[in-house]
Amino acid sequence: MVARELCLFTRVDASKASSRDRRHLVELAVKRAAPFPDPDFAVAWEADGQGAVWYWSRSRIHELVAARGGSPASPQLSYVPEALYVLGNDGSQDGLELLQLQDGCCGRSWRGGRLLADRWWPQAPSLEEWQAFSRANGVLGLPQAVPEAVPAPVRASAWSSASRRPPSLGNLASFDAYLSRAALGCALAAGLVASFQIGSIGRSCLDAWRAERAAQSLDAPLKRILAAREAADRNLAAIQRLLALRPAPASSLLLGEATRLLPGRNWSIRRWSQPTPARVEVTVTLPSADPSALVTTWEASPLFANVTTDVLGRNGEVTIRADIATAPDPAQP
């Protein structure tokens, strides 16, 4: 079993490849991403052909096995990553989790039942490291504290074989016998949902009527407080509209700054867009991208703020999203 600290993690999208070609596709992706010339790997496949991949240096593992008196090249010996045998969240809950391993801690990001990120630290991460990990995985809002690590002992079997197995198609022919029951069940479920929504609407109308009656019974001082609050909200909205008129940095300046912030030279910008005047989205091809480093570098720029990244999992593509910092007021010193 290869310890988590000896592995790197990435995702591979093999949904468009045949089942017999998927392993070859993963092998090519790992060779492109690995910082060593002899990578070995293991995959936790998902039903749609996407996979979570852990990879390591074969020679490094052989050295460690030989140092313990073993025969690393024995045909009876196979290697599996520790990460496939430890599990905290079963994938049913989206978000981040921090696992306590035998050696170090492991941070994971889940979304829609997929393992999107898996990072190892020799000890519990600092708040800055955990915030960078959160932003790198598209989590809105910075966490104010590092969560307590959940103990994750090594299991007897790999969790991917149980929770990521594609559904069987062998008994589809027997489904016809249950179509009428399924239709009745769907109709009952739709009736329950409609009844719940009607009840919710009625309850909302009743609450609004009660609130209106309560507001009418307020005394004069409290009414003045509410009026002052409404006036403050209107003034704040007016101020925000005026601030929005301040000129934003030119697109050429933003593009130049983005070019300066991207690491190295082995990258290319695939897509540049501004969905709103105050927001920029950049899709780049960046082999072996480090989302945490990208967030830290872009956050340090005076032109960008609230930076998040999203690793697309194909061809090393990463989408960087950031708010455009408001241009400084020329009247200010």
Helix (H), strand (E), coil (C) string for the chain: CECHHHCEEEEEECCCCCCCCHHHHHHHHHHHHCCCCCEEEEEEECCCCEEEEEEEEHHHHHHHHHHCCCCCCCCCCCCCEHHHHCCCCCCCCCEEEEEECCCCEEEEEEECCEEEEEEEECCCCCHHHHHHHHHHCCCCCCCCCCCCCEECCCCCCCHHHHHCCCCCCCCHHHHHHHHHHHHHHHHHHHHHHHHHHHHHHHHHHHHHHHHHHHHHCCCHHHHHHHHHHHHHHHHHHHHHHHHHCCCCCCHHHHHHHHHHHCCCCCCEEEEEEEEECCEEEEEEECCCCCHHHHHHHHHCCCCEEEEEEEECCCCCEEEEEEEECCCCCCCCC
> What mean pLDDT comes out for the span 23-47?
93
Predicted pLDDT at 14: 92
pLDDT band at residue 30, thresholds of 50, 70 and 90? Answer: very high
pLDDT band at residue 161, thresholds of 50, 70 and 90? Answer: low
Q: Are strands 95-100 and 105-111 parallel, antiparallel or unpaired?
A: antiparallel
Greater pLDDT, 69 or 174: 69
Residue 174 pLDDT greater than 60, yes or no:
no
Average the pLDDT over each of 40-54, 117-131, 221-235 and give the range with the smallest value: 221-235
